[in-house]
Amino acid sequence: MRHRHLSTLTLALGIAVLLDVLRVWLPSVITLFGRAAETPAELLGAFALGWFLLALAAPTLVRRVGAAPVGLVAAGVLAVARLALTAQPGGPAQLWLACAGLFAGLVWLAAIAASVPRPVAGLALGLAGNAVGHALLGTEDLVWRGGVLAWSLSALLVLAFLVASAAVRRERAGARERGDAARTAAPATDAADGDAGRRVPTPGRRAWLLCGPTLLLAGQVALAPALWSAAAGTGSPDFPGLVRPGNGALPGALAVLLFLAAASFRAPARVARVLWPLALLAGSVLFVTGLLVPAYLLTAAGLGGCLALTDTTDDGPAAADGRGAAEPRAAATDERGADGGRAAVLGMLVFAVATVAYYAAYDLGYPNGWAPVATAVLVALVAATAPLRPGPTPSGAASAGPALPATVRVAALAGLTALAGLAAALHVPPAQARATTTPAAVRVAAYNIRMGFGLDGRLDVDAVARELRGADVVLLSEVDRGWWLNGGHDTLALVAGRLGMPYVFAPAADPVWGDAVLSRFPMRSGQTRRLTAHGAPTGAQALGVTLDLGGRELAVVATHLQPPPGRDPVEQAGEVAAFAGRYANGRPLVLGGDLNTEPDDPAFAEFTRSGLVDALAAARPLRTSPADDPRTQIDHVFVSPGLTATEVRAPRTEASDHLPVTLTVTLP
């Protein structure tokens, strides 16, 4: 394998490993360091950004020690941290292992950026490969899955990365020895003349600067399998949020195809300068507005095309000292290579700032749609101002030509696209149930699942599903369908798959975070209502679903009230109670969720004032939060008069920061 092809493979594998670590590090910062919003948002943001600021020293280390040794050591630490996370998921060890892996990954990026002239092919393959692998796993990372399969695949990925990294170092060492021997054999004057006239290849700083922003836009929008899945649940105008099996198969595979095709094969330069930046900007805006399918398709094409526009080298003649003598070739290469490392680390700092800025809005309260749009603007500007043609390749230098042959690029594109389609086919949502005879009672569960993360910071979908198993109707709060900050998982699809229950989803904070209803009975219609914020930083909604109980109908409303800082959510409670009454329209009604109010508070009284009955009254006090030391009663279920609630429980578990509430509702 040629040196430049081996470097491309190493970069792709390293990006895949780094993304695996990021998918653990991001939620660990929130659930473990953040302690379920107990840590001030400012301190949490400073902790997250601190690791990226610390990595700004990595290019200096690379320049002084050398890219090869620094890169190999950093690759080893990154690989060890990745495997250690599989061995130790959850708890403080998970947080610090992920931090070590992240920092090692940033140092490795700085090192490899100092020696890879054109990184676009490696970045594109790494991003697409990791996304397809994530899709094949149903968006549940190998780190969280455990078992023989997880260990085998994790070890295979890490081993391939380390072998490729070591092979690259051997290739570079051999090339350096051959170059030294050639210069020693040549006459001194000829060598001096040759060095003075040669151009030193510099890693394309533009492409490396876009590494971080590209990771953000790919993970949050373009190459986010959870988003592909969430976008499949568009339902119909009279029933929004109902997932229809198979809706996400073609668009998800198409996103991979568009991204790789645009990144691998150049469009005419003058057309590409306009087409790809506009597509990227349009996709980011559509994501903010909630039009998910066109958002990720346009973002995928635009992101890949913008990367292709930066696929050049910033070559220039070897620098000269003050006396006019040519700078030694090795020194020039180290210094100019360090520029690539600095660009890569600065790009990752942009990734961190944009990620923190987007999600901190849900604690601090400000419009956050500008964060992905501003990131897209940055990528578009850097791409649109890139040189039209790649720089020339100096004799004896690393090639600045195409990183991979056309046949390899076509094979990679076709293979990854096919695997993305296979992933969608393997993870089809449960189908709607058929109508049965009218049951005498319905088992109901209401649970704030905290995006599937337990108190130990571990994504444990099995633990969540265990608490809900046996329920006929499930009302879920804090449902995540692709938040990049939580690792980009479709938690709803994972839980529903384990329970074998179809579901309806309603967005609240943004298009992929909200509430859901799962049911073993056929779901005939649905309606959502966005709640007024009243000063709360996080959005809220009410989701109504009509169930067919074998000829009778039951109206179900799921919600998660978001109180303004220091206040009771009394206004939102009134809005939900009014919505539920209109939606039920005389039918039996069950309403529940995380209401963030206690039985003696004014918001609670809004529900009883509307005529609803506290279904948990006989079991009170029924404290549900925090899960490890329940002190507050903020998770509730109300029913319409005539329904009887029995077997009320709040089983102890640490699968979330709340306890689930389960009960049996007897129909009149």
pLDDT of residue 332: 45
DSSP state of 55: G
Most confident among 68-72, 318-322, 337-341, 605-609 (mean pLDDT): 605-609
* 499-536 as b/e: b if 16+ CB within 10 A: bebbbbbbbbbbbbbbbbbbbbbbbebbbbbebeeeeb
Is residue 601, in this structure, part of any structural domain at all?
yes
> What mean pLDDT, rounded, does the chain reach?
84
Same domain, 362 and 461: no
**Do 392 and 452 belong to one domain?**
no
* 116 in the same domain as 74: yes
CATH number at residue 644: 3.60.10.10
Residue 478 has pLDDT above 60, yes or no: yes
pLDDT of residue 361: 83
Whether 435 is covered by a domain: the verdict is no
- 373 and 450 co-located in one domain: no
Q: Which CATH number belongs to the domain containing residue 357 in this structure?
A: 1.20.1250
Per-residue pLDDT of 331-345, as tens digits, reads: 444 455 567 888 899
CA distance 608 to 273: 60
The last residue of a domain, from among 393, 426, 459: 426
Question: For residue 71, is pLDDT > 80?
Answer: yes
Extract the tokens encoding 552: 């009778």
- Per-residue pLDDT reduced to its tens digit, 540-574: 999 999 999 988 899 999 999 999 888 899 999 99
* Of 35-39, 301-305, 323-327, highest mean pLDDT: 301-305
> Residue 138: inside a domain, yes or no?
yes
Which amino acid, residue 66?
G
Residue 602 lies in a domain: yes
Q: Is 537 helix (H, G, I), strand (E, B) or coil?
A: coil
Number of domains in the chain: 2
Q: Are 517 and 559 in contact (CB under 8 A)?
A: no
398 shares its domain with 503: no
Q: Is residue 574 part of a domain?
A: yes
Note the pLDDT tens digit of each residue in 437-455: 888 899 999 999 999 999 9
Q: Do 464 and 610 share a domain, yes or no?
A: yes
- Write down the pLDDT at residue 459: 92
Question: Does residue 299 register a pLDDT over 80?
Answer: yes
Question: What average pLDDT does this structure show over 44-66?
Answer: 90
In this structure, are 560 and 616 located in the same domain? yes
Instruction: Give the Cα separation of 424 and 415 in Å (integer).
Output: 15
3-class DSSP assignment, residue 427: coil
Whether residue 433 is contained in a domain is answered as no
The residue whose two tokens read 């890139």 is: 386
For the beta carbon of residue 265, count every other beta carbon within 10 angstroms: 14
Does residue 458 share a domain with residue 401? no
Mean pLDDT of 449-475: 93
Same domain as 248, residue 329: yes
Whether residues 590 and 448 share a domain: the answer is: yes
> Do 446 and 396 belong together in one domain?
no
Cα–Cα distances in angstroms (integers) from residue 208 to residues 307, 379, 392, 592, in the given order: 10, 11, 19, 49
Q: Against a cut of 0.85, is the pTM above it?
A: yes
Least confident of 28-37, 82-91, 394-403: 394-403
Q: Does the pLDDT value for residue 397 go beyond 80?
A: no
Range of the domain at 598: 441-666
pLDDT value of residue 492: 93
Residue 369 and residue 496 share a domain = no
**pLDDT tens-digit readout, 610-662:** 999 999 999 999 999 999 999 999 999 999 998 999 999 999 999 999 999 99
Q: Is residue 336 part of a domain?
A: yes
In this model, does residue 52 exceed pLDDT 70? yes
Phi-psi region of 645 (alpha: psi -120 to 50; beta: other; left: phi over 0): beta
Q: What is the pLDDT of residues 173-192, one digit of tens each?
A: 555 555 555 555 555 444 44
Beta pairing, strands 661-666 & 441-448: antiparallel
398, 426, 454 - which closes a domain: 426
Crossing angle, helix 329-364 and helix 67-87, to 10 degrees? Answer: 30
**Each residue of 467-492: b (16+ CB within 10 Å) or e?**
bbeebbbbbbbbbbbbbbbbbbbbbb
Using the predicted structure, report yes or no on whether residue 277 has a pLDDT greater than 90: yes
CA distances to 191, 197, 210, 307, 603 from 328, in Å? 11, 12, 30, 32, 74
Residue 537 lies in a domain: yes
Helix 406-426 with 120-136: angle, nearest 10 deg: 20
Residue ending a domain, choose from 426, 455, 478: 426
Give the pLDDT of residue 415: 92
